[in-house]
Amino acid sequence: MIRKIVERLHLDPPKILVLGFACIILLGTILLTLPSATVNGAGLPWLDALFTATSATCVTGLVVVDTGSTFTVFGQIVILSLIQIGGLGFMTFATFFALIMRKKISLRERLILQESLNQISIEGIVRLAKMILIFTALTELIGGILLSIRFAFDFPLGQAIYFGFFHAISNFNNAGFDLMGDFKSLTAYVEDPVVTLVVCALIVVGGIGFMVVSEVYDYRHTHRLSLHTKVVLATTALLILVGTMLIFALEYANPKTLQPLSMLGKVLGSLYQSVTARTAGSNTLSIGDMHQSSLFLIILLMFIGASPGSTGGGIKTTTFATLIGAVLAQIKGKEDVIFFRQRILPHIIYKSLTVTLIGLFIVIGITMALAITEPNAPFLMVLFEVTSAFATTGLSMGLTPELSHVGKFLIVLTMFAGRVGPLTIAFALAQRKQKEYIRFPKGKITIG
C-alpha cells in the first residue's frame, strides 16, 4: 500500500527520507500525548510531545521534561523505540522486515536505503543493512549486560537490567536520554570506570559509522582499510585525545566540576565529556557549571560531530578533516590535499565546504531567532543549545526546559534539519553532474 502511494507521488529518495522521519515523529508525538505515557496520567502537551518525539527520533537528547520522572514505562519504551528507529534509520528496519517476509528489495528501496545510510553506491547495501542490524543487536546486548551488572549494585535487579539496556541503547544511538531523574544524567558515576568506559565505547562505536565498523571487522581477511576508514579513525582518535586534554586543563581547578575529584575521576570526567560532545548528549559533569572556555570547546566538538553513516550528527569528521587538509595545503602552497598518500578530489572539498557553510547558516540563523524570542537568556547558552540541537548532541546548559513555545518549535526544526538535512544535502550533491555546454571566461578576485 505504502509502496503504491510512493510510486504514484513519484517521490525521490531524499523526499521519502524526510517524509519517513516526519511520519515517525508524528506517530511518536501522538503516543506521548496518551494518558498512559506519563506518570500523572494526563499525557504530554502537544508541543512538549512533539519536542520529545523529535529529539528521540533525531537521536538528539534535548528534553523539556525529565525522562525518568515524567514518563511511565510505556512512555519510556516509546522514546526508546523512536531512538532505535531514528538512530539506525527507518529503512534499515523496513529492510529487516522485508527480509523476514522473504520479499525482494526493489531498486527504489535500495536507493532509499542508500540515502538513509549515507552510502556512495547501492552495491552491497542490503548486506550492509543486515550487518548493521546484527552488529547493533550484539553491541547493545553486551553494553546492556555490562551496565546492568554495574547498576545492580545501586538498584533492584529488575530496575538495574532495565536501566542498563535503556542507557546502552540510548548511548549507542548517540541519543543521550537517561532515566536517572532530575536532569542529572550520569553525574553520579563521574568517577566510575565501568560506566564511563562502557558508555564511551558505545558512543564511539555508534558514532564512527557502520561502514567503518564493517571494514575494521573484515580487516582480518582483507588486510586493508579504505581511505575513508583511515580518515575517520584518525580524526576521531585525535578529537577525543585533544578534547580530553583541553577539558582536563581548563576544568582542573573548577570547584564545581573536576577539582573535587580524584586524579582518576578527573581523567574519566574529561574523557567522558570529550566523547559525549561528539553527539551523544549524556554527561558526567554538570555542563552548566563548566567554564566558558570549556563550553566553547564543546560547541566546536558538537558542530564537528560524528562520522558519516553513523547514528550521530554534526558536519561529520571527514568534512572537518577535509577542510583542515585544504587549509594546510593552501598554507604550504600545494595544489592537492593528501591523506595517507592519496589525493582528495576537488569536488569532495567543495561538498565539505557546502555542508559546513549550510550548517553554520542554520546555527547562526536559529541562534539569531532565539536571541529574539529568549531575550533574557545568555548568548553563550543560546548558541550552545542551538549547536547541540543541530548536531543532534543533546547536551544542555539548562535552557531547553525554559524555552518559550516559539523557542521550542525553533529547536524542533533545528533538530529535524540537523538529522535529515545533511543526509539529504549529501545525497543531492552526490547526484550525477550535468554536462556544462557553456563555459564562461576565467575571472580573478582578490582573497584576503
Element holding 27 (H helix, E strand): helix 13-32
- DSSP string for 320-337: HHHHHHHHHHHHTT-SSE
Residue with the bigger pLDDT between 416 and 145: it is 145
pLDDT in tens, 284-322: 999 989 999 999 999 999 999 888 877 778 889 999 999
Mean pLDDT of the chain: 84
Q: What is the pLDDT of residue 126?
A: 64
User: Mean pLDDT throughout 280-286?
Assistant: 88
Could you give the residue ranges of the DSSP H alpha helices within 252-344? Answer: 263-276, 292-304, 317-331
Reply yes or no on whether the pLDDT at 75 is more than 70: yes
User: Mean pLDDT throughout 365-370?
Assistant: 95
Q: Residue 38 in 3-state DSSP?
A: strand
In 3D space, the residue among 248, 246, 320, 239 whose CA is nearest the CA of residue 278 turns out to be 239
Q: Which range scores top for mean pLDDT: 89-98, 120-129, 404-413? A: 404-413
Integer Cα distance of 329 and 337 in angstroms: 6
- DSSP string for 382-402: HHHHHHHHHTT----SS-GGG
User: Mean pLDDT throughout 13-34?
Assistant: 83
The region, left, alpha or beta by phi > 0 then psi within -120 to 50, assigned to residue 286 is beta
Output the pTM of the full model: 0.87
Residues 6+ apart with CB under 8 A from 132: 88, 92, 117, 210
Integer Cα distance of 379 and 367 in angstroms: 8
Angle, vertex CA 226, rays to CA 224 and CA 227, nearest 5: 130
- C-alpha cell of residue 31: 503516543
Q: Which range scores top for mean pLDDT: 124-138, 239-253, 420-434? A: 239-253
Query: pLDDT confidence of 184, banded at 50, 70, 90?
Result: confident
Q: What is the pLDDT of residue 370?
A: 95
Query: pLDDT confidence of 19, banded at 50, 70, 90?
Result: confident
Within 163-255, strands assigned E span: none
In 3D space, the residue among 225, 355, 380 whose CA is nearest the CA of residue 294 turns out to be 380
Q: Which range scores top for mean pLDDT: 190-194, 397-401, 435-439? A: 190-194
Only one residue has cell 508524528, namely: 26
CA torsion angle 133 76 382 322 (round to 10): -10
User: Mean pLDDT throughout 256-273?
Assistant: 94
Reply yes or no on whether the pLDDT at 1 is more than 50: no
Element holding 338 (H helix, E strand): strand 337-339
Q: What is the pLDDT of residue 2?
A: 44
Element holding 342 (H helix, E strand): strand 342-344
pLDDT in tens, 433-446: 556 667 778 777 76
- C-alpha cell of residue 347: 569536488
In 3D space, the residue among 123, 50, 131 whose CA is nearest the CA of residue 88 turns out to be 131
Query: pLDDT confidence of 326, banded at 50, 70, 90?
Result: very high
Reply yes or no on whether the pLDDT at 425 is more than 80: no
In 3D space, the residue among 17, 13, 43, 18 whose CA is nearest the CA of residue 28 turns out to be 43
Only one residue has cell 564512527, namely: 208
